[in-house]
Amino acid sequence: MSLWEYANPARFMALSGRILPTLTIASAVLLLSGLIWGFFGTPADYKQGSTVKIIFLHVPTALMAINAWLMMLVASLIWLIRRHHVSALAAKAAAPIGMTMTLIALATGAIWGKPMWGTYWAWDPRLTSFMILLIFYFGYLALWEAVSDKDTAADLTSILCIVGSVFAVLSRYAVNFWSQGLHQGASLSLDKETHVDNAFYFPLLVSMAGMVLLFVTLVLIRTRTEIRTRRLSALRAREV
């Protein structure tokens, strides 16, 4: 019994159908309790006031924005090497979720930044990297839409994802040089680790776990949709 058995669409459908209800409930419970705990149950920070509560949305979504791309990278490699259709479709299913997570991370960051930094947007390395990640998602999704042949689309998006990952990492480091050159010493770093107290740490962990589970749940649902779409067009093609 190996993991690759689930690369078979029928087996994948059976397994994912079996675990989806549990997964849905688990992710809803964890995410809601993490957010409610964070929203109602945490004190205001001595420096940031109540805006510190935004961390329970910002950090989990930022985490998933990057992890969704990593998952797409792994799925793309599996598709190119082992040609498992489920893998290519899972990468396609994950992209809109990752894009939404990136948008939420940017939006919550901007809303937090206004009272704290005095501006919605600054060309800080982290913010800029997220903007770059967002346009990578745009390109990836646009390519899926543009190619009509399904297997070719999977090939092309996979290779784009792999090359894109290399250049996304390069951008992440290039941004550091670039931003140093622009704002001398005007540091707007988030400094998270230093002032996360236990009172924030535990609800944050719960929210992060909830967001991970939400991501997995949505990827499974969307992958199932993609598999069904594929089957539907195969059936229709046979009829004509």
Partner 1 sequence: MKSLILRDLKLAFRSGGGFALTLAFFLIVVMFVPFGVGANLDLLARIAPGILWIGALLSCLLSLDRIFQLDWEDGTLEALATSPIPLSGIALSKATAHWITTGLPITIAAIPLGYLLNLPTQSYTWLIASLALGTPTLSFIGAFGAAITVGIKRGGLLLSLLVLPLYIPTLMLGAQVVAIGTPNPAQLLALVAAISLLSIALIPFACAIALRSNLR
Partner 2 sequence: MFGFDKYTNTVLMAYGVAIAMLAILIVLSLMKSNRVKRELDAQEAKSNGKN
What residue ranges bind partner 1 (CB under 8 A)? 80, 132, 135-136, 138-139, 142-143, 146-147, 151-152, 155-156, 159-160, 162-164, 166-167, 170-171, 173-175, 177-178, 181
Q: How far is the CB of 159 from partner 1 (least distance, A)?
A: 5
The residue from 112, 130, 140, 200 that contacts partner 2 (CB under 8 A) is 112
Do 215 and 78 touch, CB atoms closer than 8 A? no
> What are the start-end ranges of the H helices in the chain?
9-40, 55-82, 85-117, 125-146, 150-182, 198-239
Compute the Cα dihedral for 140, 143, 145, 150 and give only its sign. Answer: negative
Q: What's the rounded Cα separation, in Å, for the pair 69 and 74?
A: 9
Instruction: Closer to partner 1 by CB, 80 or 221: give it.
Output: 80
- At position 166, the amino acid (one-letter code) is V
Q: How far is the CB of 105 from partner 1 (least distance, A)?
A: 18
Instruction: Closer to partner 1 by CB, 175 or 211: give it.
Output: 175
Instruction: Please count the residues of this chain forming the interface with partner 2, following the rule CB under 8 A.
Output: 40
Q: Is residue 40 a contact point for partner 2 (CB under 8 A)?
A: yes
Do 54 and 110 touch, CB atoms closer than 8 A? no
Contact partner, 115, from partner 2, partner 1, none, Cβ < 5-8 Å per class? partner 2
Q: Is residue 228 a contact point for partner 2 (CB under 8 A)?
A: yes
Q: What's the rounded Cα separation, in Å, for the pair 131 and 122?
A: 11
Q: What's the rounded Cα separation, in Å, for the pair 57 and 208?
A: 9
Per DSSP, the three-state class of 168 is helix
Helix 198-239 to helix 85-117 angle (10° resolution) is 140
Q: How far is the CB of 211 from partner 1 (least distance, A)?
A: 25
Q: How far is the CB of 183 from partner 1 (least distance, A)?
A: 13
Do 35 and 103 touch, CB atoms closer than 8 A? no
Contact partner, 205, from partner 2, partner 1, none, Cβ < 5-8 Å per class? none
Q: List residues binding partner 2 (CB under 8 A).
A: 35, 39-44, 49-51, 53-54, 57-58, 61, 96-97, 100, 103-104, 107-108, 111-112, 114-115, 214, 218, 221-222, 224-225, 228-229, 231-232, 235-236, 238-239
